[in-house]
Chain A
Amino acid sequence: MNVLIKNGRIVTASGERLSDVLISGAIVAEVGTNLAPPDGCQVLDASGCVISPGFVDLHTHMREPGREEAETIETASRAAAKGGYTCVVAMPNTDPAQDTVAVVEFVKLQGERAGLCDVRPSGCITLGRLGETLVPFGALQAAGVHVFTDDGTGVQNHTLMRRAMEYAKDLGIVLAQHCEIASMTEGAVMHEGSCCSHLGLPGWPALAEELMVYRDIELCRITGARVHILHLSTARSVDLVRAAKADGLPITAEATPHHISLTDEQLRGFDPLFKVNPPLRTRDDIEALKRGLKDGTIDAIATDHAPHAPHTKELALDAAPPGMLGLETALGVVLAETDLSLAEVIDRMSVAPARIAGVADQHGCEVAVGSPANITVFDPEITWSVVPEELASKSRNTPYVGRTLKGRVRHTILRGEAVVVDGEAKK
């Protein structure tokens, strides 16, 4: 089966050029202009669109196994494909948690069965994400896990985290931290600031994140482990990572679309849709995150796609779970809200996260002859608004209803197969 993408443009740091791309099998066979479709070839129009390496999400909560009422690996994969993602790292806070080879193999298998996206399970750092006992890193690595995290919580015990880093250094795996000092955020429902004080709600202080960012930077300094900081949300966190990188430490970081587009003011209506961890912060934090993305302090945009069944988001703010959808809106938010160039967007959403996830042999590769055909074709100019009922995700907790987004995915090609065509998932 061949696929020919016609009249798109390939954007790289050194410029852009109009191109057709011919895919044969799972490989890019030809790049050029006026390519003729071989017999039986599927032709995809890409007029006005960018032909980009498929996006890679470092932070997807697929909810399977354990919370299939909110999302399954299949529905999350479909949402990912529609959002232009050809690879996602599945977060380990499932039930059971991704702390054994069996669970990790199950997640991989479900991803393969869905066949819409390359699903790469992450592993926990501690068994059951309880912060007590390290997981069998070596066995999980042998099963294909490269990124380890207790996401949803941070590893609180300093010595345990130090040991994890010392051990991880030997294996070359990535330890990704959800930075939050739990004792400072008990009962929190939103960012601790003037809005929170006004509403009388318990707050997540910025410091609760920054202290752990700082701790992990210093542990990284003494251990040399590969550390990735998940969903940076405060200005000071960005400064800390910038300084750590200037010192040459092997640290990477991500930011989410919602943390660069929404503030704590959204909580004034008390809608649990806007409850997320880490919380929506302030305008100043947004500006700092955008500067960090622009100058490369923040390597990647990651969605923290966190589906929740509708009834759970109708509970009171303290009882409702934190998290919002992200896969299908990420590109539209990034193009609408940032001044990143197209080449920078491709870097932050594909190239850099592919490198961090350890999948750079398959994803985030420049669209060129011989490279793997994991490709997304997106229109960077089109504006659109989100209709929750049209989302592929099983849940509806998008915070972007009523907002105009810019840029939308048209086609997604996974291993040479067009899994999304003209915005519609093909399976």
Chain B
Amino acid sequence: MKHFLDIAEISRESLIELLDMTANMAEINRRPVPKVPALRGKVVATVFFEDSTRTRISFDTAAKRLSADVMGFAASASSINKGESIRDTIETLEAIGVDAFVIRHKTGGVPATVTKWSDASIINAGDGANQHPTQALLDSYTIREHFGGQDLTGLRISIVGDVRHSRVARSDIQAFTKLGAAVTIVGPSTLLPSDMTGWPVEVCNEFDSVIGESDVIYMLRLQRERMNSAFVPSLDEYAQRFGLDKSRAKRMRAGSIVMHPGPMNRGVEMCVDPAEIPNSLILRQVTNGVSARMAVLFKLLGAGGIPEDEG
């Protein structure tokens, strides 16, 4: 498989291989000159139909550290809504010469659809509320790095907040459970998917009952516009029921960690300064993001791709 679209398509074995590769890349990133010639001559195009400076910079840095050339394309969401053709954009860039497209879109399925129009490798950098597979890789790596071991077996991970609209949650749930963790999702029913048949998770509607039981508290971002469609009565009320504040941080289990995919919403889901929590790995996630994206780029462009999941 030359694409990286969806954690569901990746076997546990391949996921562990990618984690190991991420560790190798992290080693490179610790060198005085963090750059290797592995992808010299390859062209990586970052095509962001939805703004995300953080993710784009992370991919950009990852590609450059592997010596690939990077082509950046930012299309504003508004021109896409007017019906600008994604196909035209992709075909135009491909005609210039691209080995891998890194694609972000506000709507689920766009990276998968692009595979029909391009011979290049497609990397999903987040599509709608569907998938964000490199985030799942960097999150899994960050947890494994902290707790040690080959996978995440035995860990209890609580994902808190707006799971309904979260591509991070969908990818993380698949990755964490494939790697052996027990996952609980926590939030009001309005912010949980309406039909979770077959999801390998526990569901809890109250933050306080999981706080002392979790090895990992993974806070999701709550977009402020959710208030407008009555998903929550008010941001204040949300913060009171599902925000991580000092008192909840104190009740966390010894040795447990806090994570967040960024950007944080201070005063909404994060009601405490992460610097004041002993085990916030939020910045560690950002650092590891570069290594994880290097691992994916190298696997696809320099090491023949990722084996199909036979399962």
Contacts and interface: CB of A to CB of B under 8 A. Distances in A.
A203 interface: yes
Interface string B189-208: 00001111111000000000
B86 to A, nearest CB: 7
B194 A203 contact: yes
Nearest to A311: B85
Given A199-B130, A201-B108, A201-B129, A316 B86 contact: yes
B165 interface: yes
Interface residues of B, number: 30
Interface of B: 80-81, 83, 85-87, 105-110, 112-113, 128-130, 164-167, 170, 193-199, 229
Contacts of A201: 108-109, 128-130
Q: Is the interface of A mostly helix, strand, loop or mixed?
A: loop
A319 interface: yes
Given A192-B195, A194-B195, A319-B80, A314 B129 contact: no
Given A200-B167, A201-B129, A311-B85, A316 B109 contact: yes
Interface size class of A (residues with CB under 8 A): 20 to 34
A393 to B, nearest CB: 21
A200 B108 contact: yes
A194 B198 CA distance: 8
Contacts of B110: 270, 316
Interface string A255-284: 000000000000001110000000000000
Contacts of B128: 200-201
B109 A270 contact: yes
A317 B109 contact: yes
Given A194-B198, A200-B128, A200-B165, A316 B112 contact: no
Contacts of B83: 312, 315, 319
- Give the 8 A-B residue pairs with the shortest CB-CB distance, closest first: A270-B109, A200-B129, A197-B193, A316-B107, A194-B197, A194-B195, A200-B130, A197-B195
Q: Is the interface of B mostly helix, strand, loop or mixed?
A: loop
A271 B130 contact: no
Contacts of A205: 194
A201 B164 CA distance: 9
Given A200-B128, A270-B113, A316-B113, 18 more contacts: A194-B197, A196-B195, A197-B196, A198-B193, A199-B109, A200-B129, A200-B170, A201-B109, A201-B129, A269-B112, A270-B109, A314-B87, A315-B86, A316-B80, A316-B107, A317-B107, A319-B80, A319-B81
A318 interface: yes
B194 A192 contact: yes
A270 B193 CA distance: 18
Interface string A161-199: 000000000000000000000000010000011101111
A198 B81 CA distance: 24
B162 to A, nearest CB: 11
B173 to A, nearest CB: 10
Nearest to A314: B87
